[in-house]
């Protein structure tokens, strides 16, 4: 699908760069899906494949961009990854997407995977411009480990799963190695690791409603562990849908699992919802329906003192994220408790 290079400014005056993708033929203004990648990953590491699939099969514009300090986007020090700033950048990317001439500014959805899969849970809760959230293999709770003396810069992955790195698993090493573009470096700043340990986007997941949520979870994920993701999904309120994929964290990006995963994301029935006229957008188009959608009667208030992602910009990450943590893991749900259809790997869970 046609794409071009664009750049836009963040609220703290950094230049972020990305690609808008549009269908070959369309008229009028289209919905837009805003996408960013996971921990330290460039947009070239798989985002383009999703963007091309969506814009080929849907009447939709995709904005895929690099996070600050990563890839083509500006920011120093390079490879510094602070969740609150990346969340803020999602809000700025939404603002930029709304300004594109081919985009309907009232129909914006967000997509994230792995680390950014956690970001979109937060953005969906605090930015009411968002009409749908797609969170793929999301990080929902801190679970990093480290041993020995911590260096000033930290490897993202290591061939030895017992060696010091941010994502210490064989699956992480294989997954990152398979997608390395030119210019990618296998390290991040020590501050990024500290922020990673303190990051708990699950604190926001209960406030995404009434915005529709699709969560894609891998059933053997050792990077963003399956049980924590299912626990987070159970805390989310309706409307929501779970799609459970077989395999590990990096399976959804390529091969037969991509072929299974992408159509589910493209055809989520509640992908965008317009409550007052009682219809929903299927595949980002219009389709009337007779079934009643169960939604809260009013939008829940924004929580934790934040009215927008920008309010988080000047907050110290060590003060913000531990404060937001609920730390109430009464018990992690098993598949049976979530009533997952193991054939279709679909589930809907009321809260």
> pLDDT (tens digit, 9 = 90+) per residue, 56-97?
888 899 999 999 998 999 999 888 889 899 999 999 999 999
Gap between the Cα atoms of 83 and 317, Å rounded: 8
Per-residue confidence (pLDDT) for residue 328, from 0 to 100: 30
Summarised one tens digit per residue, pLDDT across range 98-111 is 999 999 999 999 99
Return the CATH number at 79: 3.40.50.1820
Per-residue confidence (pLDDT) for residue 66, from 0 to 100: 94
Gap between the Cα atoms of 146 and 168, Å rounded: 9
Does 150 fall in a domain?
no
Q: Is the pLDDT of residue 320 over 50?
A: no
Reported as a pLDDT band with limits 50, 70 and 90, residue 48 is confident
317/308: higher pLDDT: 308
Mean pLDDT of 190-215: 84
Per-residue confidence (pLDDT) for residue 198, from 0 to 100: 76
Gap between the Cα atoms of 339 and 139, Å rounded: 22
Per-residue confidence (pLDDT) for residue 246, from 0 to 100: 85
Least confident of 25-39, 152-166, 317-331: 317-331
Per-residue confidence (pLDDT) for residue 104, from 0 to 100: 95
Per-residue confidence (pLDDT) for residue 270, from 0 to 100: 41
Q: Hey, what's the torsion of the CAs at 134, 282, 98, 44, to 10 degrees?
A: 50
Mean pLDDT of 203-222: 89
Helix (H) or strand (E) holding 32: strand 30-36
Gap between the Cα atoms of 283 and 305, Å rounded: 34
Summarised one tens digit per residue, pLDDT across range 277-292 is 222 233 333 333 223 2
Does 7 fall in a domain?
no
Q: Is the pLDDT of residue 49 over 80?
A: yes
Does 170 fall in a domain?
no
- When mean pLDDT is compared over 107-111, 281-285, 316-320, 339-343, the highest value belongs to 107-111
Query: Percent of the chain having pLDDT more than 70?
Result: 59
Mean pLDDT of 140-156: 49
For the chain, the average pLDDT equals 70
Nearest-Å Rg of the Cα atoms of the chain is 19
Does 53 fall in a domain?
yes
Gap between the Cα atoms of 32 and 107, Å rounded: 6
Q: Is the pLDDT of residue 221 over 60?
A: yes
Q: How many helices (H) and strands (E) does the chain have?
A: 8, 14
Per-residue confidence (pLDDT) for residue 178, from 0 to 100: 59
User: Of 201, 182, 3, which is closest to residue 102 (Cα–Cα)?
Assistant: 3
Per-residue confidence (pLDDT) for residue 157, from 0 to 100: 58
- Burial of residue 302, with CB atoms counted within 10 A of its CB: 0-12 exposed, 13-18 middle, 19 or more buried: middle
Give residue 61's domain range: 27-143+201-347
Q: Is the pLDDT of residue 261 over 80?
A: no
Per-residue confidence (pLDDT) for residue 63, from 0 to 100: 96
Q: Is 201 helix (H, G, I), strand (E, B) or coil?
A: helix
Does 160 fall in a domain?
no
Does 67 fall in a domain?
yes
Per-residue confidence (pLDDT) for residue 2, from 0 to 100: 65
Does 213 fall in a domain?
yes
Q: Where are the alpha helices (DSSP H) in 100-181?
A: 115-126, 170-177
Per-residue confidence (pLDDT) for residue 140, from 0 to 100: 79
Mean pLDDT of 28-48: 86
Summarised one tens digit per residue, pLDDT across range 108-142 is 999 998 889 989 999 999 999 999 999 988 877 75
Per-residue confidence (pLDDT) for residue 330, from 0 to 100: 26
**DSSP 8-state code for residue 337:** G
Q: Which residue has the tokens 């836009």?
A: 8
Per-residue confidence (pLDDT) for residue 180, from 0 to 100: 57
Q: Which residue has the tokens 């049980």?
A: 227
Does 102 fall in a domain?
yes
- Burial of residue 350, with CB atoms counted within 10 A of its CB: 0-12 exposed, 13-18 middle, 19 or more buried: exposed
Q: How many domains, the chain?
A: 1
Q: Where are the alpha helices (DSSP H) in 236-333?
A: 255-266, 317-324
């Amino acid at each position: 699908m046609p794409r071009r290079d664009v750049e836009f400014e963040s609220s703290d005056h950094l230049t972020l760069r990305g690609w808008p993708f549009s269908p070959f033929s369309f008229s009028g203004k289209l919905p837009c899906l805003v996408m960013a990648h996971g921990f330290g990953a460039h947009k070239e590491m798989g985002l383009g494949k999703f963007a091309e699939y969506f814009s080929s099969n849907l009447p939709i514009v995709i904005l895929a961009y690099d996070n600050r300090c990563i890839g083509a986007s500006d920011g120093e020090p390079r490879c510094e990854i602070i969740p609150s700033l990346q969340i803020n950048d999602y809000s700025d990317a939404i603002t930029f997407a709304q300004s594109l001439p081919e985009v309907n500014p009232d129909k914006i959805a967000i997509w994230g995977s792995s680390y950014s899969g956690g970001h979109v849970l937060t953005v969906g809760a605090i930015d009411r411009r968002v009409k749908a959230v797609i969170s793929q293999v999301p990080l929902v709770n801190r679970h990093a480990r480290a041993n020995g003396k911590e260096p000033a810069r930290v490897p993202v992955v290591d061939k030895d799963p017992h060696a010091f790195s941010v994502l210490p698993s064989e699956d992480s090493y294989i997954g990152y190695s398979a997608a390395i573009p030119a210019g990618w470096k296998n390290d991040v700043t020590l501050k990024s690791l500290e922020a990673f340990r303190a990051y708990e986007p699950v604190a926001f997941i209960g406030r995404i409603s009434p915005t529709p949520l699709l969560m894609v979870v891998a059933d053997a994920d050792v990077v963003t562990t399956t049980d924590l993701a299912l626990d987070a999904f159970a805390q989310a309120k309706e409307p929501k849908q779970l799609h459970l994929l077989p395999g590990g964290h990096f399976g959804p990006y390529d091969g037969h699992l991509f072929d299974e995963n992408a159509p589910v994301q493209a055809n989520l029935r509640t992908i965008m919802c317009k409550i007052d006229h009682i219809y929903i957008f299927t595949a980002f188009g219009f389709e009337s329906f007779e079934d009643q959608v169960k939604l809260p009667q009013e939008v829940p208030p924004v929580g934790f003192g934040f009215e927008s992602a920008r309010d988080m910009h000047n907050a110290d990450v060590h003060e913000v994220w531990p404060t937001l943590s609920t730390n109430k893991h009464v018990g992690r749900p098993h598949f049976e408790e979530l009533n997952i259809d193991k054939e279709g790997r679909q589930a809907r869970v009321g809260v």
